[in-house]
Amino acid sequence: MAALRSLGRRFLLWCAHEHNDFRIPEISSLAKLFQIELEWIERNEKKPYILVDVESEDDIRKLMSRTMLIRSAYELWGRAKSLEELHSQLKVLPKEFLDRYSGEDKSFRIRIETFCKHLSAKQKIDKIETLNYLPMKGQVQLDDPNVSLAMLEFYGLDPNSIPELPYDLFFGRWVCDGQRHKINKLHLKERKFIGNTSMDAQLSLIMANQALATDNMLIYDPFVGSGSLLVAAAYFGAYVFGTDIDYIMLHGKAKPTRVTQKQRAVDECVAANLSQYNLSSRYLDVIVADSSLPIWRRNFYVDAIVTDPPYGIREATERIGTTKSYTISEEHAKTHIPSKVVYRLNEMYHDLLNFAAFNLKIGGRLVYWFPVFLAT
């Protein structure tokens, strides 16, 4: 009875099997962004699916309009450990519920999707034919039907030990897909201006989601580099700006990153990246500045800070400073280029958190990467 009461409110989120640790934070962030009351029914970072209850299908569509880590969402009609059990559940679905989707004016299709096992076309057709008791009266239409149904099978996580039968079976109505196509749209391969440590499109978009980036927010990156995080935040409607101590990088004068590129184009810069995606109206500027010496007033507030600090591996960690004692004459002050010293990680993150404490609005988000060593 509980399963019947949840019809129309329980949804299966079929995930992309990558960046698993970020699935739950991304969904939680988007639920907050859209003010969705979401109840977790089942979530496991290792498995490729999540079950949630929400108030309506509209809530799921809002989540899916932004997510990068969920492939598809399904209104859940049944979940079982065996095909026989799944059939038993589907056979007792209320007639008034099925009538919404089974009329003669509703074209339909049924798909079989598997995780960790490949099925032949014949095997899929055989499974579909076992569902012939469903009261679908409309025409079968494989392309863009009115109703798309799916059986999803989970065969575990070990490709070297695939069971004969699935561990879990789901059946439901496809609602919509996520936004993974945007990853290719913003892919670094096509990006005008990149550096050695440019954040890839998918992770940039995930960070923008976790920052709750949306229209008219003000988002800042204090280690802006080639501006990948600005592109993602602006793509979701935020106004973006950043700083970086690397004058050569910000001015597009650094050695080209692409192997086939001998020298950089004269117009390579962060602004060119925003212009490439028609986001110039969301771009404020980037400034050469040292994050250890903030240039902003204490009463200047940003809605979010999204950044990927350098770790000293592929990019140097530097700040303005000197180990020597000397005085710059007025004559040389205008053309003087300050010397730099090593910017230790603990100092860098202390300054980042301290800046956020003073200049991030109450309730705003600080989203950043932090290097860790994972023992094997």
pTM, rounded to two decimals:
0.92
Mean of the per-residue pLDDT values of the chain: 93
pLDDT in tens, 89-124: 999 999 999 999 999 999 999 999 999 999 999 999
Cβ-contact 137, 102 below 8 angstroms:
yes
User: Side chain identity at 344, as an amino acid letter?
Assistant: R
Encode 160-181: b = buried (16+ Cβ within 10 Å), e = exposed. eeeeeebebbbbbbbbeebbbe
| pLDDT for position 305 | 98
Cβ-count burial of 333 within 10 angstroms (0-12 exposed, 13-18 middle, 19+ buried)?
Answer: exposed
pLDDT in tens, 164-212: 999 999 999 999 999 999 999 999 999 999 998 899 999 999 999 999 9
Distance CA 246, CA 337 (A): 12
For residue 324, pLDDT over 80 is answered with: no
| pLDDT for position 339 | 81
Residue (of 337, 356, 206) closest to 291 by Cα position: 356
For residue 2, pLDDT over 50 is answered with: no
Which residues face 2 on adjacent strands? none
pLDDT in tens, 11-33: 999 999 999 999 999 999 999 99
Number of helical (H) and strand (E) elements in the chain, helices listed first: 13, 14
Backbone phi, psi, residue 374, to 5°: -95, 115
Cβ-count burial of 299 within 10 angstroms (0-12 exposed, 13-18 middle, 19+ buried)?
Answer: exposed
Q: Helices 201-210 and 228-235, interaxial angle, to 10°?
A: 60
Q: From residue 369, how far is each of 198, 221, 229 by CA, in Å?
A: 13, 12, 12
Distance CA 202, CA 305 (A): 18
Confidence band for 1, pLDDT divided at 50, 70 and 90: very low
For residue 7, pLDDT over 90 is answered with: no
Bin 138: left if φ > 0, else alpha if -120 < ψ < 50, else beta.
beta
For residue 228, pLDDT over 60 is answered with: yes
